[in-house]
Amino acid sequence: MRVVLDSNVHVSAVIKRESQPGRIIKAWRADSFELLISDLIMKEIDDVLHRDKIYKKYHLTEDRIKRALEVLRLYAVRIPQKTTISMIKDDPSDNRVIECATDGNADYIVSGDRHLLALKSFRNTIILQPSEFLKKIPS
């Protein structure tokens, strides 16, 4: 199973490890699925985690952010961007998730973003909320 997690799922997993996104990351680390990621998604995760309202509110540290990003760098499948998609006009950064899924032949996109969830699927990739995706992972 090849999966792209939206940056909001990654951020939520870093903030609260016992959340549904945190459980998804644990399942990935237990080899329940193959995680696909692009450099642009990595950059967005880093940017969001460093926003003052996130960084301060959740008492994040540079070490915690570095560790989370390093795990992604080392173990996720890096997908080079080949495709450019401009489907979602209201939030262009959502297109990066679709691009990664397209270029990586993903089975699923997991997101909490309403623009992506409204699509339900794109080509052969199904788009699910974290709670729906957790049901797809073997327990």
Low-confidence ranges of the chain (pLDDT < 50): none
* pLDDT attached to residue 139: 65
The model's pTM is 0.95
Nearest by Cα to 2 from 104, 82, 100:
104
SS3 content of the chain, % helix, strand, coil (to 5): 50, 15, 35
Q: Which residues, at least 6 apart from 9, have a Cβ–Cβ distance to it below 8 Å?
A: 21, 24, 110, 111, 112, 130
Secondary-structure class of domain 2-134 per CATH: alpha beta
* pLDDT attached to residue 102: 97
* pLDDT attached to residue 100: 97
* pLDDT attached to residue 6: 97
* pLDDT attached to residue 91: 87
